[in-house]
C-alpha cells in the first residue's frame, strides 16, 4: 500500500513539475492592439509599422497598450524546406525578425498568431505536429505573445493541445504570454490557469451593442451578448490568468456612448484590453476614451478581481469591481433607448462581494465619490447619487474611503 502511495505521489510531482507556463507574466490584464477586427488577413509591413507609430504618437503606448499582435494572415501559405514558418514575402518583405525588431525599437512588444489545428482559421499552416519548431521560430523573432486558435482541430483534446504548445514555448526559454483562443468550447477557465495567461470565453465579437449574427456553424456576438453569456465565471480570473472577453470593438462604428460603456465593461471585467480598431484613423473622442487612465487603472488594479453585476433595475446595469486600498469601481449603464434620470441611494444598498469577502455598510462608513470620466470628486455616500444617463452611456465612479482624505 505504502509503495502505491509513494508511486502515486511521485507521478503527481513529475506531472506538476514537468510542464509549466511562464510565471510572472500578465499579472494585470494584457493591453495592446490586434489586427483582426479591422483588417482580417489584409495586413502587411507598412500597415503594421504605421500602426506602431500611431500607438506611440497618440499616447496609447503611454496609456499602457504595449502588445502589437499580428493575427491570422501573416504567414506564407506553406512551410519552408526545413518545415519552418515564414512571413508572407509579399506582405512582409523584410521578414518577421525585422518586424519584431521594429516593434521593439518603438517600445512595444510583439505578438503573433497561430492555431492548434492543421490550419489556421484563414487556411494558413497550423502548428499541429510542429509546435516545437514554431515556438522556436517565435522565440528567434523576438515574439512576446502568442494567440493560439482552435480551427481544424478535429478530435484533438483541447487541454492537451494547449499544454503541448505551452511546453514548446517554455522550452525556448523566452517568456511569451500564451493567449488561449478556443472560444470557450471546452471551458478553458476550468483548466487554463496552469496552461495560459488568458483564454477566450466565447466565439468572435462583432461591432454591435447586443446583436448576434449567425454565420452557419457559429455566431458573432455583440458586446452585451458576450457579457451576459459569461458573467458567471469570474472566480476563475486573477493575476496571470484572465477571462478574455475578446478584442475590443471600441471605435468600430459604435456611438461614443457605446464606446465608453464597452471600454468600461471590459475594465470592470478585468478583461485583456486589446484594441481592434484602426488606430491610424482613430477619432478624437475614441482616443479620449481609450487613453482614459482612470478607467484603465480600474482594469489594471493589482488585486486582479473580475467585477460582477450588482443589479439591473429599470434597465440600468450596475456593476461592481473591488479595488486595492479598499476602493471600489461602480459602473451605471443605461440600456434604455432614452435618457434616464438615475437616483441611487447608498443607504438603501449594501455594496458587497461575498466571494471575495468585501463589504461596505454605508450606515457607518462614508466614501468619497470620484467620477472617472470627469476626473473629479462629485460627492460622498451620505447623499443619493443623482445624474442623467444618456442612451447607452455610462457613469463610472470610484468609491474612496473618507479617512483616506483626512
* Interface region with ligand GLA, contact rule CB under 6 A, candidates 25-33, 97-105, 119-127, 264-272: 119-127
- Residues 165/180, Cβ–Cβ less than 8 Å: no
Closest to ligand GLA by CB, 72 or 131: 72
Question: What's the rounded Cα separation, in Å, for the pair 102 and 82?
Answer: 26
Q: Does the annotation mark 204 as catalytic?
A: yes
CB of 158 to ligand GLA, least distance (A): 14
Q: List the one residue from 72, 134, 301, 393 that touches ligand GLA (CB under 6 A).
A: 72
CB of 36 to ligand GLA, least distance (A): 5
CB of 62 to ligand GLA, least distance (A): 27
Q: List the one residue from 33, 36, 245, 346 that touches ligand GLA (CB under 6 A).
A: 36
Q: Is 245 among the residues that bind ligand GLA (CB under 6 A)?
A: no
Cell 486595492, residue? 324
Closest to ligand GLA by CB, 34 or 381: 34
Q: List the one residue from 19, 122, 142, 379 that touches ligand GLA (CB under 6 A).
A: 122
Closest to ligand GLA by CB, 43 or 369: 43
What secondary structure, in 3-state letters, does 244-260 show? ECCCCCCCCCCCHHHHH
Closest to ligand GLA by CB, 33 or 36: 36
Q: List the one residue from 48, 121, 195, 333 that touches ligand GLA (CB under 6 A).
A: 121
CB of 214 to ligand GLA, least distance (A): 15
Q: What is the DSSP letter of 124?
A: S
142-168 burial, b at 16+ Cβ within 10 Å, e below that, comes to bbbbbbbbbbbbeebebbebbbbbbbb
Q: List the one residue from 45, 66, 71, 301 that touches ligand GLA (CB under 6 A).
A: 71
CB of 222 to ligand GLA, least distance (A): 15
User: What track of x and - describes contact with ligand GLA for positions 173 through 202 (by CB under 6 A)?
Assistant: --------x-x-------------------
Among 291, 290, 182, which residue's Cα sits nearest to residue 244?
Answer: 182
User: What track of x and - describes contact with ligand GLA for positions 201 through 220 (by CB under 6 A)?
Assistant: ---x----------------
Q: Is 70 among the residues that bind ligand GLA (CB under 6 A)?
A: no
Q: Bridge partners of 394?
A: 333
For 11, the 3-state DSSP assignment is: helix
DSSP H or E stretch at residue 14:
helix 2-18
CB of 272 to ligand GLA, least distance (A): 12
Question: What's the rounded Cα separation, in Å, for the pair 233 and 242?
Answer: 10
Question: What's the rounded Cα separation, in Å, for the pair 102 and 110?
Answer: 9
Among 194, 127, 121, which residue's Cα sits nearest to residue 163?
Answer: 194
Give Cα separations from 205 to 130, 187, 249, 272, 363 (angstroms).
Answer: 29, 18, 8, 14, 42
Closest to ligand GLA by CB, 220 or 320: 220
Question: What's the rounded Cα separation, in Å, for the pair 290 and 165?
Answer: 32
- Residues 353/305, Cβ–Cβ less than 8 Å: yes
Q: Does the annotation mark 283 as catalytic?
A: no
For 123, the 3-state DSSP assignment is: coil
Closest-approach residue to ligand GLA (CB): 121
Catalytic residue among 71, 134, 204, 353: 204
DSSP H or E stretch at residue 312:
strand 308-313
* Interface region with ligand GLA, contact rule CB under 6 A, candidates 117-125, 265-273, 385-393, 395-403: 117-125
H-assigned helices in 194-255? 223-229
Catalytic residue among 72, 88, 149, 246: 149
Instruction: Give the three cell numbers for residue 370.
Output: 470620484
Closest to ligand GLA by CB, 266 or 362: 266
Q: Is 149 among the residues that bind ligand GLA (CB under 6 A)?
A: yes
CB of 386 to ligand GLA, least distance (A): 41
The count of chain residues that interact with ligand GLA, using the rule CB under 6 A, is 10
CB of 276 to ligand GLA, least distance (A): 9
Give Cα separations from 380 to 324, 358, 360, 384, 404 (angstroms).
Answer: 19, 19, 14, 8, 13
Instruction: Give the three cell numbers for residue 383.
Output: 447623499
Question: What's the rounded Cα separation, in Å, for the pair 159 and 47?
Answer: 35
Residues involved in catalysis: 149, 204
- Sites of contact with ligand GLA (CB under 6 A): 36, 71-72, 120-122, 149, 181, 183, 204
Amino acid at each position: 500500500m505504502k509503495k502505491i502511495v509513494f508511486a502515486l505521489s511521485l507521478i503527481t510531482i513529475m506531472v506538476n513539475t514537468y510542464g509549466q507556463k511562464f510565471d510572472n507574466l500578465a499579472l494585470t490584464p494584457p493591453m495592446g492592439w490586434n489586427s483582426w477586427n479591422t483588417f482580417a488577413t489584409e495586413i502587411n509591413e507598412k500597415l503594421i509599422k504605421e500602426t506602431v507609430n500611431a500607438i506611440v504618437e497618440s499616447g496609447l503606448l503611454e496609456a499602457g497598450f504595449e502588445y502589437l499582435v499580428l493575427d491570422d494572415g501573416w504567414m506564407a501559405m506553406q512551410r519552408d524546406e526545413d518545415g519552418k514558418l515564414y512571413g508572407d514575402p509579399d506582405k512582409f518583405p523584410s521578414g518577421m525578425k525585422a518586424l519584431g525588431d521594429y516593434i521593439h525599437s518603438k517600445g512595444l512588444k510583439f505578438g503573433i498568431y497561430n492555431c492548434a489545428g492543421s490550419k489556421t482559421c484563414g487556411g494558413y499552416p497550423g502548428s499541429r505536429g510542429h509546435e516545437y519548431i514554431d515556438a522556436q521560430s517565435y522565440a528567434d523573432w523576438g515574439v512576446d505573445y502568442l494567440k493560439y486558435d482552435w480551427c481544424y482541430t478535429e478530435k484533438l483534446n483541447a487541454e492537451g493541445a494547449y499544454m503541448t504548445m505551452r511546453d514548446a514555448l517554455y522550452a525556448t526559454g523566452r517568456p511569451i504570454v500564451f493567449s488561449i483562443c478556443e472560444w470557450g468550447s471546452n471551458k478553458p477557465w476550468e483548466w487554463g490557469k496552469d496552461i495560459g495567461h488568458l483564454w477566450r470565453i466565447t466565439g468572435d465579437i462583432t461591432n454591435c451593442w447586443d446583436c448576434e449574427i449567425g454565420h452557419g456553424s457559429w455566431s458573432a456576438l455583440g458586446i452585451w451578448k458576450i457579457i451576459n453569456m459569461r458573467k458567471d465565471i469570474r472566480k476563475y480570473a486573477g493575476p496571470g490568468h484572465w477571462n478574455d472577453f475578446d478584442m475590443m470593438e471600441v471605435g468600430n462604428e459604435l456611438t461614443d456612448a457605446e464606446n465608453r460603456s464597452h471600454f468600461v465593461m471590459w475594465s470592470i471585467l478585468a478583461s485583456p484590453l486589446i484594441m481592434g480598431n484602426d488606430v491610424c484613423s482613430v477619432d478624437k473622442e475614441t482616443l479620449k476614451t481609450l487613453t482614459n487612465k482612470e478607467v484603465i487603472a480600474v482594469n489594471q488594479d493589482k488585486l486582479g478581481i473580475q467585477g460582477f453585476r450588482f443589479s439591473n433595475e429599470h434597465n440600468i446595469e450596475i456593476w461592481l469591481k473591488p479595488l486595492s486600498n479598499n476602493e471600489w469601481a461602480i459602473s451605471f449603464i443605461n440600456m434604455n433607448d432614452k435618457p434616464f434620470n438615475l437616483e441611487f441611494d447608498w443607504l438603501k444598498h449594501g455594496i458587497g462581494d461575498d466571494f471575495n469577502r468585501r463589504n461596505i455598510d454605508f450606515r457607518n462608513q462614508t466614501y468619497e465619490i470620484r467620477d472617472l470620466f470627469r476626473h473629479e470628486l462629485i460627492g460622498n455616500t451620505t447623499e443619493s447619487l443623482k445624474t442623467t444617463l444618456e442612451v447607452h452611456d455610462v457613469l463610472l465612479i470610484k468609491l474612496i474611503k473618507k479617512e483616506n482624505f483626512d
